[in-house]
Amino acid sequence: MERPALKSKPTPDGSLEQMAEEIFSLTVMSWLERVSSRRQGAELSESQYLSIDTLVKAGKTLTVGEIQRAIGVLPAQMSRIMRSLEAGFDKPLIRCELNQTDKRKIDVKLTPEGRRVYDDFRGGRLARTQEILQGLDDADRQEFVRICRKIREVYNHPATPEGENSVK
């Protein structure tokens, strides 16, 4: 059964509400595509991906607590994520070991299989995004990148209580 095309809620063009609706509509479309692809095989959840991404970007062994703080989940959630990455796939994606200097901490290392799954997941997402963006001409692509960079800056420099943002 084919999904109906998703459309954003009609609002005045250029309004903040309309922009938010457009982003949310694209997010929902992405979720639907991911749910469909999960039925076809194992795939990382958002929290699993964020955990592995944190390890990859750190480029070293991290403790469970460091990963937990980086992705912003509760300790109980982090325990479930770690268990799923250790035992929820054909081969472990991470290896957990007792920290040698502080026995209260658990060190987490990415396994070669974890790196492979991460690279495959990320590569697949990027390839699909490139397929979607192929329909844009050069000017639209440049404008899209400019706007994405500006939005990323807003994320990195949230508005003050007065509602002002450092990004202009």
Indicate the pLDDT class of residue 78, thresholds 50, 70 and 90: very high
pLDDT tens sequence across 33-62? 777 665 455 588 999 999 999 999 999 999
Are 77 and 89 in contact by the 8 Å Cβ rule? The answer is no
Are 135 and 121 in contact by the 8 Å Cβ rule? The answer is no
Are 96 and 62 in contact by the 8 Å Cβ rule? The answer is no
pLDDT-above-90 percentage for the chain: 58
Alpha helices in the chain (DSSP H): 16-38, 46-58, 64-71, 75-87, 112-133, 138-156
pTM equals: 0.78
Q: Can you give the residue ranges of every domain in the chain?
A: 42-157
Question: What is the amino acid identity at position 138?
Answer: D
The architecture (CATH level 2) of 42-157 comes to Orthogonal Bundle (1.10)
Q: What are phi and psi of 24, to 5 degrees?
A: -65, -40
Nearest 10 degrees: Cα torsion 49, 54, 56, 61: -120
Query: Among 1-5, 79-83, 95-99, 105-109, whose mean pLDDT is lowest?
Result: 1-5
User: Exposed/middle/buried for 99, CB within 10 Å: 0-12, 13-18, 19+?
Assistant: middle
